[in-house]
Amino acid sequence: MKKKNSLKLTVLKQTAIKLTALKQTAIKLTAVLLAAALTLGGCGMLGTAEPETPSAENAASENASNENMSTETASSETASSENSADDSQISAFGGENGEFAVPKVPEGERPNEIVISLEGENSYVNEAAEKYMALHDGVKITVKQVDTQNSRDKYLQVVSTELMSGSGADIYDAIFLSYYKLADSGMLADFNEYIGEDVKNGSYSSALMDAALFGGKRYTAILSYNFNAYEIDTAAADEYGVTFPEGKIGVSDEYGVTIPDGNLKLSDLQNLSEQLPKDGSLALFSGGGSGMNDLTLADLLVAMNFNKFVDLPGKSANFETDLFYDVINTVNRIAENKQIGLAKNEDYGSDGKALIHPYMLYTPAMSHNGTVDYKNMRLIVNDDGFAPFSCASFLPVLNANGKNKELAADFIKFMLSDEMQSSPSLLFCPVNKNAINEISHLSYEDSKSGGYLPEGFTEDTLGSNIAKFNELSENLGIFLYQERYINRLIWDELSRIFSEGITAQEAAANLTGAVNLYLNE
């Protein structure tokens, strides 16, 4: 099979169109995720509840070129089974001049085609397919958009039906699917067989990439991510006598509060709450537009300890633990001390008088509140030192019965390459560290030309942001999309604690029973 010369991604040339779309997408998708944080628990931002389908993706996808790609619409009764089977060796990730190899298949032995099934439009997948086909003569990639009438449950039904039939697409988007259940049923292929060494030896954070493992196997590949970081507010610090000695942040005057140097754990939040005033004059967390209140904080703290409450491979769950009770008691104390907003629409610190402000970070140049300096950013982590992250874009899984698994896996490797990870059509931060620098500078230039940069934000600020962003990313190891149905159960039961007044013990017992029933049905 002949390869064309490797296409170089001339990102700057595409900036006028695609970065504008990215900016619009970021603004619109942020609004969706913020709304989800307030109404559903903020899966993309502060918690685990399921977000709405990102409508902003459609805005970005309208600018994507689809001239060389076959795009079809599939109904629940339609499944692609045109591929034929074989097993072939794929070459190593990368290659000379950054090119990617496809399986060496004798001429005429089988068609070199893969089919990708999506719930909706995805400009990144479209662009990757177009570029991959341009790099490889004779390869055809068909992107099918399943007609689900905006129903994720129907998409799950379509995918399950196709997979159980032994046919279907080669690659599915599992962003809203319980992919571990499909894997547990033998319907998905293990990526480790094809790209395990590439992920292990490539320029990726191992904790982040391994966060989606199930039973030690890699059934999906994370392509992009976003996460919450928490800024120590210098404005509030000035007003309340907070000083920032080198290497540590502390309060030296009126309140005598000392903030630990490094990321914050549950015990640190407990200590800070005891030291701060309890009259609402200085909140621990800002509320208001950030969406941080008692419910979302509890959801976040439970989410980052998900694997301590739920054993997905073992199909068991137990929320009746000291850790769960400690989380609820801590949040209740913070709320009683008037140091955080309440789910019942009572906010403290929403006027800026708060020590810690949540930000959703999606590149080293931008957050959901705009372009900011990350120097005072921290993470809230579990006792193992890991913080949660989420993914609101394409989450590929391989059909175990796919006719071209090797070719499909090579396409996923291409999506993880420096070239595709630097594309403006990739929502949020690329997992490829080599691409972070380029995409961040493009975001910076776009903000600069659009007049969005705050006063004093320079290239040097961007450089320090990139370093801080990479440092924070190394501690991301909890994937928020473990299981959307369980996440919903957790959110609903936590809501009852803070709105109906049920006890932590009652909620824990209800969750333990409901989750165990679901895992073993």
pLDDT (average), residues 292-308? 94
Share of the chain residues as helix, strand and coil, in percent rounded to the nearest 5? 40, 15, 45
Is 126 a residue whose pLDDT tops 60? yes
Q: Residue 491, Cβ neighbours under 10 Å: how many?
A: 23
Q: Residue 1, Cβ neighbours under 10 Å: how many?
A: 14
Amino acid occupying residue 345: N
pLDDT (average), residues 188-192? 90
DSSP string across 80-122 = ---------PPPPSS-GGG--------TTSS--EEEEEESS--
Is 174 a residue whose pLDDT tops 70? yes
Measure the CA–CA gap between 34 and 290, rounded to whole angstroms. 7
Q: Percentage of the chain surpassing pLDDT 90? A: 34
Residues sharing a CB contact under 8 Å with residue 107, sequence separation 6 or more, in sequence order: none
pLDDT (average), residues 107-133? 85
Q: Residue 223, Cβ neighbours under 10 Å: how many?
A: 24
The rounded mean pLDDT for the chain is: 75
Comparing 405 with 63, the larger pLDDT belongs to 405
Can you tell me whether residue 289 is helix, strand or coil?
A: helix
Alpha carbon of residue 116 to chain centroid: 21
Q: Percentage of the chain surpassing pLDDT 70? A: 69
Comparing 90 with 508, the larger pLDDT belongs to 508
Looking at residue 181, its pLDDT comes to 85
Comparing 56 with 492, the larger pLDDT belongs to 492
* 277-291, 343-357, 414-428, 453-467: which is most confident: 414-428
pLDDT in tens, 241-261: 544 434 444 443 444 556 566
Smallest Cα–Cα separation from 505: which of 325, 308, 245, 247? 325
pLDDT in tens, 38-50: 233 333 344 554 4
Looking at residue 195, its pLDDT comes to 81
pLDDT (average), residues 55-62? 36
Binned at pLDDT 50, 70 and 90, residue 354 comes out as confident
Looking at residue 509, its pLDDT comes to 98
At 77, give phi and psi (nearest 5°): -90, -5
Looking at residue 511, its pLDDT comes to 98
pLDDT (average), residues 139-158? 83
The answer to whether residues 164 and 186 touch, using CB atoms and an 8 Å cutoff, is: no
The answer to whether residues 518 and 489 touch, using CB atoms and an 8 Å cutoff, is: yes
Q: Which residue bears the tokens 């290659």?
A: 95
Q: What is the DSSP pairing of strand 249-251 with strand 476-479? A: unpaired
Which DSSP symbol is given to 22? H
Looking at residue 366, its pLDDT comes to 67
Can you tell me whether residue 383 is helix, strand or coil?
A: coil
Whole-Å CA distances, 467 to 23, 147, 377, 389, 460: 23, 43, 12, 18, 11
Burial of 293 (0-12, 13-18, 19+ CB in 10 A): buried
Whole-Å CA distances, 408 to 131, 228, 291, 415: 14, 32, 39, 11
Looking at residue 243, its pLDDT comes to 45
Q: What angle do CA 64, 67, 69 make, to 5 degrees?
A: 90
Picking from 5-19, 160-174, 342-356, 494-508, which range would have the lowest pLDDT averaged per residue? 5-19
The answer to whether residues 222 and 479 touch, using CB atoms and an 8 Å cutoff, is: yes
Comparing 470 with 48, the larger pLDDT belongs to 470
At 36, give phi and psi (nearest 5°): -65, -35
Amino acid occupying residue 458: T
* H-run or E-run covering 181: helix 179-184
Picking from 88-102, 286-300, 413-427, which range would have the lowest pLDDT averaged per residue? 88-102
Binned at pLDDT 50, 70 and 90, residue 310 comes out as very high
Number of helices (H) and strands (E) in the chain: give both, helices first: 19, 19
Amino acid occupying residue 452: Y
Tokens of 378: 């921290």
Tokens of 86: 């074989």
pLDDT (average), residues 228-245? 63
The answer to whether residues 433 and 204 touch, using CB atoms and an 8 Å cutoff, is: yes
Measure the CA–CA gap between 209 and 201, rounded to whole angstroms. 12
Long-range contacts of 158-163 (CB under 8 A, 24+ apart): 158/74, 158/76, 158/117, 159/117, 160/187, 161/76, 161/79, 162/79, 162/117, 163/187, 163/188, 163/399, 163/400, 163/401
Looking at residue 84, its pLDDT comes to 34
pTM (2 decimals)? 0.74
pLDDT (average), residues 223-252? 63
The answer to whether residues 302 and 49 touch, using CB atoms and an 8 Å cutoff, is: no
The answer to whether residues 113 and 82 touch, using CB atoms and an 8 Å cutoff, is: yes
Binned at pLDDT 50, 70 and 90, residue 155 comes out as confident
